[in-house]
Amino acid sequence: MITQYFRLSVVLVVLFLFVGCAKETKQVVHLHGETMGTTYNVKYVIDERGQIDGLKAALDKRLVEINKLMSTYDPTSELSRFNQNRFTTPVPLSADTTTVVKEALRLGKLSHGVLDITVGPLVNLWGFGPNKRPEIVPNEAQIDAVRDYVGLDKLALSSAGLRKLHPMVYVDLSTIAKGYGVDELAAIMEENGLENYLVEIGGEMRVKGERGNGEDWLIAIEKPVSTERAVEKIVSVGTNAIATSGDYRNYYEMDGKRYSHLIDPRTGSPITHNLVSVTVVHPSSMTADGLATAFNVMGWDEAISLAEKEELAVFLIRRTDDGFEEYASPRFNATVTVKN
């Protein structure tokens, strides 16, 4: 699930590199590397101080720290050790992991249980995790058996730590942890007094100020089609983060039916609605990251209702018989400048 989501989101960055780097008059430093099973890119405009010595080392160090805490691929990470634990007593967590879990639980409540960091076993059951695609579609008994230990009501966070209310609960922070990583790299940029920068990890992005030619950073939202790479909109988002989630690249078909990688924890099954792409703009990349996934699972009407109630900057695209239909929330229109 997550690997494919990154492949979708990173299009924002690839397209940005084409539309956002022309006519630079001030030097822009580009730092990049690998992290969290994907890549990161950091750009900043050089001021009178010149390049910042040791900045890349500081960024890499922070990413290693976060990965060591929240990776589900590293069996020795803090999160992996929590998942391996089969007890229902509180497990103390680091301040970083606690921050991410707390926000995930908040967004889970906000989205009426749709953003669920315990949904991983259902994702695996449907063949979108490390397990192979199932030979037959899971039946209700199999789904119900897994749902016994899936759900935000199976977790409790307190000053003593994070507690499982069922010993088989498995937590995966990948829908929000990369956004947290972006926020932490942005914090390092701020600590170094940088006012014009872009930070991106696996497609999750946060920008501030201007690019080298004095114009806004430009970001492309991809058209939700699987047959080509095309741009739906080019936007500037001010000093904010932007995250996009879609289901039009990661799915499989069996017996003539399409199964999305996005699992609705309320049903235990893949989504079946026609909402194909969600973009969220928010000051926090962590929050934008989680909300983009939540809205994508919700569907068109529920997403619009929540976006307007909570005054969130959300852009939706749904598939129709005639093509696609767009929706931009009032906060999105007030926050984002469309360039095309």
Least confident of 143-157, 172-186, 200-214, 223-237: 223-237
Is residue 214, in this structure, part of any structural domain at all? Answer: no
Which tokens hold the place of 164? 């499982």
Asked whether residue 337 carries a pLDDT value surpassing 60, the answer given is yes
Report pLDDT digits (tens) over 25-70: 899 999 999 999 899 999 999 998 999 999 999 999 999 999 999 9
Beta-bridged to residue 162, according to DSSP, are: 91, 157
Whether residue 21 is predicted with pLDDT greater than 80 in this model: the reply is no
Note the pLDDT of residue 247.
Answer: 65
Question: Model confidence at 274, in pLDDT bands (50, 70, 90)?
Answer: confident
Per-residue pLDDT band at 333 (split at 50, 70, 90) = very high
Q: Name the band, by pLDDT with cuts 50, 70 and 90, for residue 262.
A: confident
Q: How many CB atoms are located within 10 Å of the residue 215 CB?
A: 14
- 9-23, 129-143, 191-205 — most confident range: 191-205
Work out the average pLDDT over 20-27. 66
Domain contains 263: no
299 inside domain = no
- List, for residues 290-312, the tens digit of each pLDDT value: 999 999 999 999 999 999 999 99
| pLDDT at 253 (0 to 100) | 53
**Residue 17 belongs to a domain:** no
Q: Quick one: pLDDT at residue 133?
A: 62
- Asked whether the predicted pLDDT for residue 252 surpasses 90, the reply is no
Q: Which pLDDT value is given to residue 227?
A: 62
Structure tokens at 230: 């095309």
Task: For residues 260-265, give the mean pLDDT.
Answer: 84
User: How many Å apart are CA 216 and CA 140, to the nearest integer?
Assistant: 50
Give the confidence band of 13 by pLDDT, cuts at 50, 70, 90: very low
For 21, counting Cβ atoms within 10 Å of its Cβ (0-12 exposed, 13-18 middle, 19+ buried), the class is: middle
> Span 266-285, mean pLDDT?
92
User: What's the mean pLDDT in 93-97?
Assistant: 98
In a domain, 282, yes or no: no
Nearest residue to 174 via CA among 231, 225, 117, 132: 117
Report CA-CA distances (Å) from 73 to 76, 172, 324.
9, 10, 37
Residue 287 lies in a domain: no
Query: How many separate domains does the chain show?
Result: 1
Is the predicted pLDDT of residue 6 greater than 50, yes or no?
Answer: no
Q: Is residue 249 part of a domain?
A: no
Return the CATH number at 156: 1.10.3980.10
Among residues 328, 36, 39, the alpha carbon closest in space to that of 203 is found at 39
Split at pLDDT 50, 70, 90, the class of 246 is: confident
Report how far residue 16's alpha carbon sits from residue 96's, in angstroms, rounded to the nearest whole number: 30
pLDDT in the model for residue 124: 85
- 259 or 281: which carries more pLDDT confidence? 281
Confidence of residue 4 (pLDDT cuts 50, 70, 90): very low
- Looking at residue 105, its pLDDT comes to 98
Task: Please state, in angstroms and rounded to a whole number, the distance separating the CA atoms of residues 335 and 311.
Answer: 11
Task: Give percent of the chain with pLDDT exceeding 70.
Answer: 85
Q: Which residues contact 176 (CB under 8 A, 6 or more apart)?
A: 100, 103, 104, 107, 115, 117, 286, 289, 290
Q: What is the pLDDT of residue 22?
A: 53
pLDDT-based confidence at 210, cuts 50/70/90? Answer: very high
Rounded CA separation 42/208 (Å): 12
Is 27 part of any domain? no
Separation between Cα atoms, residue 81 and residue 94, nearest integer Å: 12
Question: Which residues, 6+ apart, have CB-to-CB distance to 337 below 8 Å?
Answer: 216, 235, 236, 237, 238
pLDDT at 9: 43
**CB within 8 Å of 231: residues ≥ 6 apart:** 15, 220, 221, 222, 223, 340
Mean pLDDT of the chain: 88
Cβ–Cβ < 8 Å for 205, 243: yes
Q: By residue range, what is the domain housing residue 119? A: 68-164
Between the CA of residue 270 and those of 104, 253, 306, what are the distances in Å?
Answer: 21, 12, 21
| pTM (predicted TM-score) | 0.90
